[in-house]
């Protein structure tokens, strides 16, 4: 069932998929109501269950969110003035702090998952094609589109290499800044070399991108209308909550 829904989503025009993901991310960023955030959280989780295969991404996302959410909860719980949660106990946790920290934590989780949905709705090639099809901006984005894929791949290799080196030295904290600096320096040098090669082979690279960015098979009307309807529902929920 999920594979069939995933195939249906992939048949939607990439521009409408981008609009759908951007709608979810923007409304979650500016939303200030709890029930709307819970609906957005449910929508994001459903999309991720359909789009993502395997549990690795969920495990890594939960691990990262724990590092972000727990400090938010603790800081607001202990340092927000208000009614004490545990009266007669020397633990300065306030009810207002729990509520405020929970809201900010929920807001962060919804935004994080919405951004994850947006990144998964389009493939790498569709991102490049969609970027280049933006009127007035497509030509300006050509160099970035050409450098994006190779830069992500090489930078990922550099980060994994330095992380492996840090682990091989016992994960010593005093060595961590050295590995970070080395990774940044190597990434800058690699990106500079890629930009130089792009400049030398500009005509050939631009022609290859122009061929790859030609519009392919258009999305089916049913799936496209469905994507627009879901985006409209997301915006209506946000506007209804903001009134």
Looking at the structure, do residues 21 and 54 belong to the same domain, yes or no? yes
Rounded to whole angstroms, the Cα distance separating 221 from 115 reads 26
Looking at the structure, do residues 8 and 79 belong to the same domain, yes or no? yes
Confidence of residue 64 (pLDDT cuts 50, 70, 90): confident
Q: Residue 44 is encoded by which pair of tokens?
A: 């994001």
Q: Which of 1-5, 123-127, 195-199 has the lowest mean pLDDT?
A: 1-5
For 72-105, the pLDDT digits (tens) are: 998 888 888 888 877 777 778 888 999 999 999 9
More confident residue, 146 or 47: 47
Q: CA 182: distance to chain centroid?
A: 26
Looking at the structure, do residues 76 and 194 belong to the same domain, yes or no? no
Position 60 scores a pLDDT of: 80
Dihedral through CA 94, CA 99, CA 104, CA 110, nearest 10? 150
Instruction: Tell me if 128 is assigned to some domain.
Output: no
Looking at the structure, do residues 81 and 186 belong to the same domain, yes or no? no
Domain that holds residue 8: 2-122+218-242
For 124-161, the pLDDT digits (tens) are: 778 777 777 777 776 677 677 777 667 777 877 888 88
Looking at the structure, do residues 45 and 118 belong to the same domain, yes or no? yes
Query: Is 224 a residue whose pLDDT tops 50?
Result: yes
Position 87 scores a pLDDT of: 75
Looking at the structure, do residues 30 and 102 belong to the same domain, yes or no? yes
Instruction: Tell me if 160 is assigned to some domain.
Output: yes
Contacts of 67 (CB under 8 A, 6+ apart): none
Rounded to whole angstroms, the Cα distance separating 206 from 81 reads 59
Position 222 scores a pLDDT of: 52
Looking at the structure, do residues 36 and 114 belong to the same domain, yes or no? yes
More confident residue, 217 or 6: 6
Query: Is 40 a residue whose pLDDT tops 70?
Result: yes
| Contact (Cβ atoms closer than 8 angstroms) between residue 111 and residue 100 | no
Instruction: Tell me if 65 is assigned to some domain.
Output: yes
Over residues 161-166, the mean pLDDT reads 87
Over residues 153-171, the mean pLDDT reads 85
Position 105 scores a pLDDT of: 92
More confident residue, 225 or 108: 108
Instruction: Tell me if 129 is assigned to some domain.
Output: no
Rounded to whole angstroms, the Cα distance separating 62 from 69 reads 10
What 3-state class would DSSP assign to 220? coil
Confidence of residue 216 (pLDDT cuts 50, 70, 90): very low
Distances (CA, A) of 85 to 74, 81, 94: 13, 11, 5
Over residues 37-45, the mean pLDDT reads 90
One-character DSSP codes across 130-146: HHHTSTTTHHHHHHHHH
More confident residue, 91 or 213: 91
Position 41 scores a pLDDT of: 92
| Contact (Cβ atoms closer than 8 angstroms) between residue 27 and residue 40 | yes
Of 124-128, 165-169, 231-235, where does the model show the most confidence? 165-169
Largest CA distance in the chain: 75
Looking at the structure, do residues 54 and 157 belong to the same domain, yes or no? no
What 3-state class would DSSP assign to 94? strand
**Total structural domains in the chain?**
2
Looking at the structure, do residues 97 and 15 belong to the same domain, yes or no? yes
Q: 0.85 cut: is pTM over it?
A: no
Looking at the structure, do residues 66 and 90 belong to the same domain, yes or no? yes
CA quadruple 47, 51, 55, 57: dihedral sign: negative
Rounded to whole angstroms, the Cα distance separating 54 from 88 reads 48
């Amino acid at each position: 069932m999920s594979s069939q829904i995933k195939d249906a989503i992939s048949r939607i025009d990439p521009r409408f998929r981008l609009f759908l993901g951007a709608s979810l991310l923007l409304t979650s960023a500016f939303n200030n109501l709890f029930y709307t955030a819970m609906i957005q959280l449910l929508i994001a989780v459903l999309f991720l269950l359909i789009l993502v295969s395997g549990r690795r991404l969920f495990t890594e996302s939960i691990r990262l969110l724990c590092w972000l959410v727990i400090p938010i909860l603790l800081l607001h719980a202990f340092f927000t003035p208000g009614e004490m949660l545990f009266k007669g106990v020397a633990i300065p946790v306030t009810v207002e702090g729990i509520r405020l920290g929970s809201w900010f934590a929920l807001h962060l989780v919804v935004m994080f998952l919405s951004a994850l949905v947006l990144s998964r709705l389009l493939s790498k090639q569709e991102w490049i094609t969609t970027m280049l099809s933006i009127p007035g901006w497509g030509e300006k984005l050509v160099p970035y589109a050409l450098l994006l894929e190779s830069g992500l791949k090489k930078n990922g290799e550099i980060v994994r290499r330095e992380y492996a080196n840090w682990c091989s030295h016992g994960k010593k904290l005093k060595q961590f800044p050295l590995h970070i600096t080395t990774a940044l320096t190597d990434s800058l040098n690699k990106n500079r070399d890629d930009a130089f090669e792009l400049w030398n082979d500009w005509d050939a690279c631009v022609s290859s991108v122009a061929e790859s960015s030609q519009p392919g098979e258009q999305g089916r009307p049913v799936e496209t209308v469905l994507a627009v309807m879901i985006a409209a529902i997301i915006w209506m929920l946000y506007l209804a909550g903001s009134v």
